[in-house]
Amino acid sequence: MDLKQIIRDVPDFPKPGILFRDITPVLERPDAFRAALDGLAGLLAPLRFDKIAAMESRGFLLGAPLAVRLEKGLVLLRKGGKLPGAVESVTYYLEYGEATLEMHRSSLRSGERVVVLDDLLATGGTALAAGQLVKKVGAEVAAFVFLIELTVLQGRAPLIEAPVFSLVKYP
């Protein structure tokens, strides 16, 4: 199935000049959602890893069913202030300011191999912060995996610590 034919282009969102790649139509169609999960599972098949760390919020939509399918634990990477209890955090810079990414301290143990998953790879800043968060607790990034990659933004360039995989690429 050609997911590019299903992913919706939304011009000028969230601001003028941006072409947003909307995965909502993929999620609305069980056949397309299954194809996306099958494709992501296929990218992960040769890898040895213990858990999937999915980024808020669209990463959760892909990470949860994928973790169940692959019988792996799911680690939630959330925006600052959204997790109860003891957390680790990383603050990073975006083109429009800064953000904080957090996870429960108890979610990962030293030496575990983790796949960092999100719906979209653009500039790589959030994924880089996710990798730093994983390493902060002594775990290792086994791979970065994305449903969509915007190759023109060269977001994989800063992700040098592990292989980067994407299912659908746009120039």
Catalytic residue among 8, 28, 48, 95: 95
Cβ(90)–Cβ(100) below 8 Å: yes
Catalytic residue among 58, 102, 112, 156: 58
Cα separation, 26 vs 30, in Å, equals: 8
Say if strands 8-11 and 19-22 run parallel, antiparallel, or are unpaired: antiparallel
95 is an active site residue: yes
113 is an active site residue: no
Cα separation, 16 vs 156, in Å, equals: 25
Cβ(134)–Cβ(116) below 8 Å: yes
Neighbours of 124 (CB within 10 A): 19
Cβ(117)–Cβ(130) below 8 Å: no
Q: What are the tokens at 67?
A: 């973790």
Cβ(90)–Cβ(125) below 8 Å: no
- Residues marked active site are found at 58, 95
